[in-house]
């Protein structure tokens, strides 16, 4: 989904709310759209996530038993507040209200993957997949969660299954590239990450992934060029410091890597929820500074 599509969606949800100010689901949709702007790096999280929280609260004030509202609030509490216990309670409440809500199972699976609870994550993913087997988002998040669980063969296989449903789905090329990199299949990784970059109109996360892959494949000059591209991009739009840290980690530049993670912490970067499990940061993991950042974020 491109930035312009999310902006168009915001317009439609706002129009729905103007017609019916008590339409709770429209507030949830609007909250999710603003959340996507922060997640995809279109805007700094600090500028959009507080608005998502406000909108989710309005939805739940209209209908406190709205499963969609609780699932969305859970995501905000996870991605931005780093309030892990409250987030899990919201996901569970959503599933209690509507056990057939595939998105809630998907979001809860992602939470469990970020917390380093892969068996529980897989169970929730399977339930989401059973409820909505052709969803490319659900299918590919299974690949992402497997990647975070270091089940790289499973991640690659699930990415390819997603691409059977939608061959041009950029996130599936992205997860396939990440899995191939960890399996040492660097040529495949770089080709897949280039497809992800092109298919996402140069999303910074895909560029960072490509930069890390170049570094690990023994092409530091190309990784440095990616860093230069990201810095140039940051002059006109938001670029996640977490992504810069990914590239520096691949290059083995620990000081710059930690400087980037410190910046991500100050920005409340939504990508930091994956820091506990992210394989691409393994080169920094033994440094005491890494454990300090995990502690500051408050991971259980």
pLDDT at 1 over 70: no
- Tell me what the pLDDT averaged over the chain comes to: 94
pLDDT tens per residue, range 277-297: 999 999 999 999 999 999 999
Q: Is 168 exposed, middle or buried (0-12, 13-18, 19+ CB in 10 A)?
A: exposed
Whose tokens are 């987030």? That residue is 87
Q: Identify the weakest region by mean pLDDT among 7-11, 25-29, 92-96, 129-133.
A: 7-11
* Nearest Cα to Cα of residue 211 among 195, 233, 229, 187: 229
pLDDT tens per residue, range 27-77: 999 999 888 887 766 678 888 888 899 999 999 999 999 999 999 999 999
Write out the two tokens for 24: 């709770």
The pLDDT, as a whole number, for residue 2 is 55
CB 42 within 8 A of CB 6: yes
Whose tokens are 């938001």? That residue is 238
* Nearest Cα to Cα of residue 38 among 198, 226, 237: 237
pTM: 0.94
* Nearest Cα to Cα of residue 173 among 196, 201, 197: 196
Tell me the percentage of the chain whose pLDDT exceeds 90: 87
- DSSP, collapsed to helix, strand or coil, labels residue 142 as helix
pLDDT tens per residue, range 190-237: 999 999 999 998 999 999 999 999 999 999 999 999 999 999 999 988
State the sign of the Cα–Cα–Cα–Cα dihedral 205, 207, 209, 215.
Answer: negative
Give the domains, in start order, of the chain with CATH numbers. Answer: 1-91 (1.25.40.10), 100-185 (1.25.40.10), 202-300 (no CATH)
């Amino acid at each position: 989904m491109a930035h312009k599509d999310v902006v168009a969606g915001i317009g439609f949800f706002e129009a729905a709310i103007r017609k019916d100010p008590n339409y709770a689901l429209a507030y949830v949709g609007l909250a999710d759209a603003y959340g996507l702007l922060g997640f995809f790096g279109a805007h700094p999280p600090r500028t959009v996530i507080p608005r998502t929280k406000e909108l989710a609260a309005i939805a739940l004030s209209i209908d406190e038993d709205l499963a969609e509202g609780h699932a969305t609030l859970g995501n905000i509490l996870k991605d931005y507040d780093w309030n892990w216990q409250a987030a899990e309670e919201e996901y569970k409440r959503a599933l209690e209200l509507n056990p057939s809500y595939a998105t809630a199972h998907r979001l809860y699976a992602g939470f469990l993957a970020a917390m380093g609870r892969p068996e529980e994550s897989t169970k929730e993913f399977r339930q989401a997949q059973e409820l909505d087997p052709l969803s490319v988002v659900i299918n590919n998040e299974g690949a992402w969660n497997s990647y975070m669980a270091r089940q790289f063969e499973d991640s690659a296989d699930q990415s390819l299954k997603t691409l059977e449903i939608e061959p041009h789905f950029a996130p599936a090329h992205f997860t396939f590239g990440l899995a191939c990199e960890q399996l040492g299949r660097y040529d495949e990784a770089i080709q897949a990450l280039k497809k992800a970059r092109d298919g996402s109109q140069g999303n910074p996360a895909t560029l960072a992934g490509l930069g890390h892959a170049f570094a690990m494949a023994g092409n530091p000059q190309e990784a440095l060029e990616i860093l230069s591209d990201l810095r140039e991009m940051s002059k006109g739009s938001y670029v996640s410091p977490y992504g810069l840290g990914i590239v520096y980690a691949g290059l083995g530049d620990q000081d710059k890597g930690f400087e980037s993670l410190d910046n991500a912490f100050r920005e409340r970067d939504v990508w930091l929820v994956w820091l506990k499990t992210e394989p691409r940061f393994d080169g920094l993991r033994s440094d005491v500074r890494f454990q300090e950042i995990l502690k500051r974020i408050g991971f259980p």
